[in-house]
Amino acid sequence: MVFQWSRDAPYVFNLKVMPLGDVTLDGVVDTWDLEKMGVAMESPTSTDSLQIDLNQDGKVDILDLVILGQHFGESDGEQQL
């Protein structure tokens, strides 16, 4: 999540929600995320493993790949609160 504060409206801020599976943090779940997950699955000691472990079970495996697949094509959303 990214919070953005506006001085013109002190009680309004934008909330940006990243989609589950966006391991590259570019705002969309796409082939780049799939590639990064594939690399992490091949080398489980990767420093990115915590970010790529989507179900937070301590390992990057097929279950994380299923989650990524369920959200494939989704992009970030922005709401003003």
Total domains in the chain come to 1
Q: Exposure pattern of 31-58 as b/e (b: 16+ CB <10 Å)? A: eebbebbeebbeeeeeeebeebbbeeee
Question: Per DSSP, what are the bridge partners of residue 36?
Answer: none
Q: What pLDDT score was predicted for residue 51?
A: 83
Report d(CA 49, CA 41) in Å as an integer: 9
Is 2's pLDDT higher than 60?
A: no
The answer to whether residues 78 and 16 touch, using CB atoms and an 8 Å cutoff, is: yes
CATH number at 54 reads 1.10.1330.10
Single pTM value for the model? 0.73
Residue-wise pLDDT for 30-52, tens only, equals 999 999 999 998 886 666 777 89
Residue-range definition of the domain harbouring residue 60: 2-80
